[in-house]
């Protein structure tokens, strides 16, 4: 709740939660509108965010993939609407396009290294996802690796497809 509009809530611990500078700037004093009473998720009151709420889709061709951020299936209609509002209002998909591109290049390098050292690509990437999960199901690295290991065509490409050469 914006402290300029609700000064009595500005010291309430449950109203104080960390947000990066870019998100805070975009959120500013917005809370909701007539059509959507709430624009943003709240980490204390929206208990469903303990589960993964965002799903990244990585689409072929895998040498030049496209990324699309959506909601995880299994959310209710109301939860989906709130998550999509949060993503829209904070311009998350656009802002994280650069992040996903960088992570994907790193993934290609990891896959090359894993293949060259005779390791099971799926098993190692699943281990990466599972190691990140305790930090949160909606941490960007978890969302990325969850998208990777659940995409059978991508795993096949990483395990045996023609990967680019890196210097």
Q: Collapsing DSSP states into helix, strand and coil, what is residue 124?
A: helix
> Can you state the angle between helices 121-132 and 140-149, rounded to 10 degrees?
150
Looking at residue 9, what DSSP letter applies? G
Domain ranges of the chain: 7-160
- Averaged pLDDT, groups of 10, the chain, 167 residues long: 55 59 65 68 74 93 94 92 84 85 96 97 98 91 97 98 85
Distance between CA atoms of residues 57 and 151, nearest Å: 8
> For the whole model, what pTM was predicted?
0.80
């Amino acid at each position: 709740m914006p402290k300029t509009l609700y000064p009595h809530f500005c010291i309430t611990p449950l109203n104080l939660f960390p947000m990066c500078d870019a998100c805070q700037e975009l959120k500013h004093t917005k809370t909701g509108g007539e059509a959507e009473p709430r624009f943003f998720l709240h980490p204390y009151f929206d208990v469903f965010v303990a589960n993964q709420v965002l799903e990244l889709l990585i689409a072929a061709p895998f040498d030049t993939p496209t990324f699309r951020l959506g909601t995880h299936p299994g959310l209710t209609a109301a939860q989906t609407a709130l998550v999509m509002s949060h993503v829209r209002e904070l311009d998350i998909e656009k802002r994280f396009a650069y992040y996903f591109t960088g992570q994907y290049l790193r993934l290609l390098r990891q896959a090359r290294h894993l293949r060259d050292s005779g390791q099971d690509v799926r098993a190692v990437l699943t281990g990466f996802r599972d190691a990140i999960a305790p930090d949160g199901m909606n941490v960007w690295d978890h969302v990325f690796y969850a998208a990777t290991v659940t995409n059978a065509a991508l795993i096949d490409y990483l395990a045996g497809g023609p990967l680019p050469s890196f210097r």
